[in-house]
Amino acid sequence: MSRSIHVLNGPNLNRLGRREPAIYGHTTLAEVEAMCRDAAGETGIVFHQTNYEGQLVDWIHEAIDLPAAGIIINPAGLTFTSIPVLDALKMFPGPLIELHISNIHKREAIYHRSLVSTAATAVIAGLGAKGYATAVRAMLELLD
């Protein structure tokens, strides 16, 4: 099995650092990617962001077919609405960490029900952008 960890990001995360900094902070997606690579050490990271549901599904399929060692996914708004993303994630045989920068459970009620959580091995929420590095370290432990 490949030792690569796929870090997949959904809609609007390309706007990190500028989008609602009171909720999401000032860290950019490029800085998040660098944090993930640093935390991974020798383990390969495949890092993607898209604003399109179908592209996210295609990257999950890619992770299945390679196969990737694990997936860390921040599906953003698709967390709460996307059956196609959920169905694709349910096909992934390895560990899956759902990640959110904010604590979705402290936010408006629309953000309280994650479809993705039903397929996830673990969920990390509310640690800000640093949650990504935490997720990579947790994934490495799950893979050992």
Token pair belonging to 126: 């509310």
Contact 86, 29 (CB under 8 A): no
- Of 125, 115, 60, residue with least CA distance to 93: 60
Residue 124 is assigned to a ligand binding site = no
Residue 74 is assigned to a ligand binding site = yes
**C-alpha distances out from residue 71 to 23, 92, 127, 139, Å:** 24, 8, 18, 8
Q: Which of 6, 24, 48, 105 is catalytic?
A: 24
Residue 87 is assigned to a ligand binding site = yes
The three-class DSSP label of residue 39 is helix
6 counts as catalytic = no
Please report, in angstroms and rounded to a whole number, the separation of the first and last CA atoms in the chain. Answer: 13
24 counts as catalytic = yes
Q: Can you give the length of the chain in residues?
A: 144
Q: Which of 100, 105, 112, 132 is catalytic?
A: 100
Residue 60 is assigned to a ligand binding site = no
Residue ranges of the binding site:
74, 87, 101-102
Catalytic residue positions?
24, 100
Residue ranges of the binding site for substrate:
74, 87, 101-102
